[in-house]
Homo-oligomer: A and B are copies of this chain.
Amino acid sequence: MNPENITETIKVACSSCNLRELCMPVGFNPEDMQKLDDVVATRRRIKQGDSLFSYGDSFTSLFAIRTGFFKTCVSSADGREQVTGFQMAGEIMGLDGIVSDYHSCDAIALEDAEVCVMPFANVEELSREFPQLQRHVHKIMSREIVRENGVMMLLGNMRAEERLAAFLLNLVQRLHARGFSQSELTLRMSREEIGSYLGMKLETVSRAFSKFSDEGIIEVKQRYVRIIEPDALKKIFNPQTYS
């Protein structure tokens, strides 16, 4: 681990966090909320390019993103890398580590980030006390399973342009849920990382961007993207519904 990743011992209160509705269950009464704060032990800052955890690290905690943007990726023995997801504020990382007590992927910050460290023992203990939290944890894991099912559909059945359209729509939708624009975004990842996630080469990603741009569907300038015709993107992603 990078020595600059100092684990702060400052206590953070979920009860006063504006991301609570994204990473914590809602509808708790004030006194229970107090106890729920115990699930988060510390915060931790991660610099751009540094890893939050790596393949083989022992698993102790889940991480909720407060600020910043991450990628998770797995590597094959011969060095091929597959990005398995991009995570933003309010999303939970580290679920991969539960099954074997070791992490099976790397989580790398794509910009300076801060995460809430939630020791999994705390999560489990409080889950037994609060059915609402228990249900929430189950939903988070189930959501990840369903998300990955969608990625399998993308990788197994879609062509390059459909994948990129789906990717952009998904990103902008998640950003919009966090109060950002519905039509503009700044990509935090390179063409190569997008390509890895979508199962295509960086040149193919670039060509698809250019094609969309030529067709007036989006405006692209490096990592800035503006979606001009969201319906056209949706049609590319899902031809049948929009034909």
The chain A residues found within 8 Å of chain B, CB to CB, are 74, 76-82, 84, 95-100, 104-105, 124, 127-129, 131, 134-135, 137-139, 141-146, 148-153, 155-157, 196-199, 238-241
Kindly state the separation between the CA atoms of A232 and B127 in the bound complex, as whole angstroms: 47
Kindly state the separation between the CA atoms of A139 and B74 in the bound complex, as whole angstroms: 19
A142 shortest CB reach to chain B, Å: 4
- Residues of B contacting A129 in the complex (Cβ-Cβ under 8 angstroms): 128
B138 touches A80 (CB 8 A): no
- Residues of B contacting A196 in the complex (Cβ-Cβ under 8 angstroms): 156
Q: A98-B142, A152-B152 are in contact. Are A157 and B238 (CB under 8 A)?
A: no
A58 shortest CB reach to chain B, Å: 14
Q: List 24 A-B contacts (CB under 8 A).
A: A74-B149, A74-B150, A76-B153, A77-B241, A78-B238, A81-B157, A82-B152, A82-B153, A82-B156, A84-B149, A84-B152, A96-B149, A97-B142, A98-B138, A98-B139, A99-B139, A104-B149, A138-B141, A148-B148, A148-B149, A148-B151, A156-B197, A156-B199, A157-B199
